[in-house]
Structure 1
């Protein structure tokens, strides 16, 4: 998944793109951009640059211009001949480059600032609640998974000074589920229809009909991406690509180990790591949602996928049964 920038946007948004490109051609013993681009595509119109086992940059000749793709930042930009000439001139001045890097805001900073200012507070005139849970148990046996904690954020609350994330502990699960069921708005998560929602319900005295009630008002961003693009993409990959924000732990399994440590020994440090992990997952989910609400397209494998708000709701809210393979997919 990529962000597709115009030449102008490259200088309006704070990213690592310019610095990564500079480091690339300087590392390859070039002082200037144009000579590097020309020599890189001397023997082929498309070339990849690697660090270790992974690609970090792709350069593709496009007529008299170039398509540059930063694999670290997940940014693709197409520049014609004149834009390349202008870019080349600007990169000669390190002072200009440093000023651009310092003054601009990142995509995530802009999205969360706009959210705090009151934008994207509703979806089809309804507020929304974003949440994520942490559990212990066998992922293939949802009925017996133990809910441990959750974090949540509600869109129509006051977030002016900072976005308000709230912790839900184990003893509050029934109260929290009751709140979600009565909430007059959308319930947003990532893989929530087939994991967070049923596990939360199963940790109360309620039955499957309540899962259906919760699913009917849910927006599951994992399902949205899967049905829009045909690809199963985890939250970490999506958030890193669109927001440059990643998870604080390697996986949910690592979080489960910390929870077991906490249960066994009362290790508060282990518990705090899981709290941070869960809260950050909610931040990533909210950020991805804000990105989707602001933009009406995403890019994967050089293909553009367009959608509108109705697509966002319908593709993420359809509760028809389908193969999910939860046990082998860590979001």
Structure 2
């Protein structure tokens, strides 16, 4: 029965409630040795060529990056058998990419916890202070065991996340990503640091945040419906007024575009699919269309837009789309 449960979970998409039950079950001490044995068998027999729709070089690069970020020590010992099984389960899941997300607890000297999402998934997590974070696809968030101690709540982000921070005036919440640091007391905001785009951005939905460039010490305070963007190529930080909801809608299960402009829809899609969309000069971004976005693929969504607008959507590469006549 243990083998059947684990195999079914690893190789089939599961709803949030089932994922929560599985994580609790895998950490339970009952049948701990059998659980660990089955998980190790899954790990040993895993063939990345059968799992990824990418080449093995890409697979090795991503796995290597995760290991470097976790500071993996070959001889590190894990504390208990159940936690050892959980770590193996997490390792198997990151290779299979068959579930929404997972948690890795690296029990080394720094006791860092990593929250990780796969390339085509997103996950919702509760931090030790009660704050909630949604991680977009292919993202990582790290925090130490002393996260809520010493008057600070610090996390490190690689990718994109939406934070609903529990207010605590005695312990500011700090997000470090790339060259920016975000400080808040209690608020809702989106933060993004994706190397492939060459930009870092923070969009405030409610409350107040302070964004600081770590090298120049330039500081900017945002109010709701403002976006701060740092361009790595120019070294400049810019602030503009936006509709914050368009930057944060990816946290839901669907988006209803009701008579919305093409420009607004493009912003939503950028964060839903982790892409960037360029609307060419011969296209009217104020054109309004309506449709509902559910788990459609990017290609399916682009075809919908083409049918509704009669414009052409051209995928330049994995992360960039051009909309033109």
**Range into which the TM-score falls when normalised by the shorter chain:** under 0.3
**TM-score, L = length of structure 2:** 0.22
Higher strand share: 2
User: Which structure would you say has the larger RCO, counting Cα contacts within 8 Å and 6 or more residues apart?
Assistant: 1
**TM-score, L = length of structure 1:** 0.22
